[in-house]
Every structure is written in structure tokens, then in C-alpha cells.
Amino acid sequence: MSGNITFTMIKPMAMRNGAGGAILKMIQDGGFEIIALKMKQMSKSDAEEFYGIHKDKPFYENLVEFMTSGPIIAAVLKKDNAVEDYRKLLGSTNPETAEEGTIRRAFATNMTMNAAHGSDSDENAIIETKFHFKDDEIFN
């Protein structure tokens, strides 16, 4: 499945704002097929592991606290060139510079509460997918 999947999480503030459905619609309208989907709340250890690459960054603790503050939607998306195309649909990490028509422009609150996560490489898309989904939860 390398190259044609990416992993996303709709983050707690977007969920609290009731934007989960609208974001899933933007994803489907963007040509992505949703091949796995679940609503869940991440534990502290889940979030620490998932964002482990950022553990030395000043925003890490705040990010872990926020990501465990309520339910998320986790999903696996399928499309040619999925990682790059989904990052375009998300818009830049900082919503103040996110382009018109992007998920973050429409639904982000700030850099931490930036509506949704998207994998940054094909390799991480697979690692992140396996982190959240068992093989029999993926309809590829």
C-alpha cells in the first residue's frame, strides 16, 4: 500500500467544534477514499509515542495534553500521491498562513489546535496507520 495511503487524525478541538463531519466531507470531495475510520480518545502514552519525534520540542507537552483532551477521528485515506495531496488539502501547519480552501484555513484554531494531522512521508503513513488500526480494520 506504499505511496497511495496517508493517515489522518481530526483533532479534539475540531471535534468539539462539531467539524468532524465537514472535514470528512472535504476529504472525500478532495478525491480521497476512506479505507479505515474510528473515533477514539488517545491515552497519554499513546500521544507521547505517536508524537515521540517531537519530544524535545517546546510545544511537545502542550501537544500531548491537547491531543488527549477529547476524542479524535482517526482515518486512513487512499489516493494516488496521498501524502503530498493530503498535506496540500490540509494547508500549512500554522493556520494563519493556510491557503484558502484548505482544512486548516476553515477549521484550525491555532498551531497546536490545527484541526487535523496528516502523515509527512509514505513511511510514516504506514507506521501511523499500524499504530491506530489492526489489519482487519483496514478496507483496502
- Interface positions with ligand CMP (CB under 6 A): 54, 59, 63, 93, 111-112, 114, 117-118
Nearest approach, Cβ of 136 to ligand CMP (angstroms)?
26
Alpha helices for the chain (secondary structure H): 12-16, 20-29, 44-50, 60-67, 82-90, 103-107, 122-132
Give 121 or 139: the residue with its C-beta nearer to ligand CMP: 121
Selecting among 117, 118, 119, 129, the annotated active-site residue is 117
How many degrees, rounded to 5, is the angle at CA 48 between CA 46 and CA 54?
140
Angle between helices 82-90 and 122-132 (to 10 degrees): 80
Give 78 or 117: the residue with its C-beta nearer to ligand CMP: 117
Q: Is 54 a catalytic residue?
A: no
Contact 41, 16 (CB under 8 A): no
Nearest approach, Cβ of 135 to ligand CMP (angstroms)?
24
Give 44 or 139: the residue with its C-beta nearer to ligand CMP: 44
At 41, the amino acid letter reads: Q
Residues 6+ apart with CB under 8 A from 55: 48
Nearest approach, Cβ of 18 to ligand CMP (angstroms)?
20
Nearest approach, Cβ of 117 to ligand CMP (angstroms)?
3
**How far apart are alpha carbons 18 and 16 in whole angstroms?**
5
Please list the active-site residues.
117
